[in-house]
Amino acid sequence: MKAMILKKQGILNPNSLELEYVDIPKINYNEVLIKIKACGVCHTDLHEIEGDLRIENFPIIPGHEIIGIVSKIGNGVKNLKVGDRVGISWLYSSCENCKYCLRNQQNLCLDAKFTGYSVNGGYTEYIKINSNYAYKIPDVFSDLEAAPLMCAGVIGYRSIKLSELKSGETIGLFGFGASAHIVIQIAKHWNCDVFVFTRSKNHQEHALELGAKWVGNIKDQPPKKIDRGIIFAPVGEIVVNALNFLNSGGTLAINAIHMSDIPSFKYSLLWHERKIISVANVTRNDAIEFLELAGKIPIKTNIVSYKLEDVNFALLDMKMSKINGAAVLKI
C-alpha cells in the first residue's frame, strides 16, 4: 500500500514526507482493518514534522483524522462488522486499567498511544486499530466532510466542555483554523455570542460567514468582555492578552499540544476566580458525544481536498494560513 512517511524532523518543505510502498497491517483478535477513504491534515502533524513534538520511533506515518470502511475484523470483535464506516481520532489506545482510564480520562493515561505519532496513522491506504477506538460516522457526512471531525472537531468539543460554556454566554476564540470553525457552530447551536480574534483577514471573513458577532485581532478591544475563551494559536503571549478580556469567574481553555512560553503577568488578571486550563488529548466519550451532536446540528465542515501524494503541499498551505477550514486527503 502507498504511504507518506516521515523519516526525520526538520522545517517543513515539499519533500518532508516521502512516498513509499509498505505492507498492509495484519490484525489481531480484537482489531479491525480499515480501508482509508479520507484523512484530515492537522496542525499537530506540522508540530511532529518540525520537531516541536519529540517522536520516539522513525519512520512514522502521520495522520489522525481518519475516515474509512471496515474491511476485515478479528475474531474477538463484536461491535463492528465488515462494511461499517468508521472514524479514528488522535487517541489510538489506552491501558484501560489505570486510575485515569477507570474514570474515563483515557486522555491522561500514561500508556496511551496516539494515532500517527506513537503508531502509524492515516497518510496511507489501510490502518488497523482496536475496535473500541473506532467510531461509527453519522450518514449525514461525506467521507471528506467527516475527516476534520475526528480531531479538529473532537478536541474542539473537549475544549468547549472544559471552558464550561453555558447557553447564552459569550465566548472568545483566539485563532480561527480547522478546530475553531467547528467550535463556532457548536457555540451558535447553544445560542452563544462568539468573538473571534485572528490576524488573518480571510479567517475573519470566514468567521463572520459562520455567525461570529465580532471579529478582530488580539490587539483590538472587543465590544464587551467574554465569559469563556479558547486559545487555538500556539503563542503563549495570547494567554495574557486573553485574560484581559475575560470576565470574573471565566475560564480560558488552551487547545494546544505545543505552545511557546507564557510570559509573566500580574496576579490581578487571574484574580476574581478566573481559571486557565489546558486541553490534553481526547477521550473515547468525547468522540462518541461529539459525533452524535455533530450529526444533530449538523456541523458543516469547510474543506480543501488534496491527493495523498500532495500532503506536503497541504501542510505548507495550512502553515501559511491559506486554508479556510480544513485540509483533507482524498485516498
pLDDT tens column, 176-191: 999 999 999 999 999 9
Q: How confident is the model over 106-110, as a mean pLDDT?
A: 97
* Cell matching residue 151: 480531531
Q: Is the pLDDT of residue 136 over 90?
A: yes
Angle at 225 between CA 224 and CA 228, to 5 degrees: 135
Q: Please list the helix, strand and coil fractions of the chain in percent, rounded to the nearest 5, in that order.
A: 30, 30, 45
How far is the C-alpha of 228 from the C-alpha of 262, rounded, in Å? Answer: 19
First-to-last alpha carbon distance for the chain, in angstroms, is 11
pTM of the predicted protein model: 0.94
Q: How confident is the model over 280-299, as a mean pLDDT?
A: 97
Q: How confident is the model over 125-147, as a mean pLDDT?
A: 98
Query: 328: part of which helix (H) or strand (E)?
Result: strand 326-330
How far is the C-alpha of 304 from the C-alpha of 327, rounded, in Å? Answer: 5
Q: How confident is the model over 36-40, as a mean pLDDT?
A: 98
Q: How confident is the model over 227-256, as a mean pLDDT?
A: 96
Per-residue pLDDT at 152: 94
- Contacts of residue 235, defined as CB under 8 A and 6 or more positions apart, other chains included, come to 259, 260
Q: How confident is the model over 64-88, as a mean pLDDT?
A: 97
Return contacts of 217-222, CB within 8 angstroms, 24+ apart: 218/174, 222/172, 222/195, 222/197
CB 78 within 8 Å of CB 31 = no
Per-residue pLDDT at 324: 87
pLDDT tens column, 225-238: 999 999 999 999 99
Q: Does domain 154-278 have CATH number 3.40.390.10?
A: no
Per-residue pLDDT at 56: 87
Percent of the chain scoring above 70 in pLDDT: 100
Query: 294: part of which helix (H) or strand (E)?
Result: helix 284-296
CATH of domain 2-151+282-330: 3.90.180.10
Q: How confident is the model over 37-46, as a mean pLDDT?
A: 96
Q: How confident is the model at residue 55 (pLDDT cuts 50, 70, 90)?
A: very high
How far is the C-alpha of 330 from the C-alpha of 67, rounded, in Å? Answer: 10
Any idea how long the chain is? 331
* Cell matching residue 224: 464587551
Q: Is the pLDDT of residue 46 over 90?
A: yes
- What is the residue-wise DSSP string for 7-26? -S--S--TTSEEEEE-PPPP
Residue 298 preceded by cis peptide, ω within 30: yes
Q: Which of 63, 44, 67 is nearest to 3 (CA)?
A: 63
Per-residue pLDDT at 325: 85
Mean per-residue pLDDT of the chain: 96
Q: How confident is the model at residue 143 (pLDDT cuts 50, 70, 90)?
A: very high
Domain boundaries, the chain: 2-151+282-330, 154-278
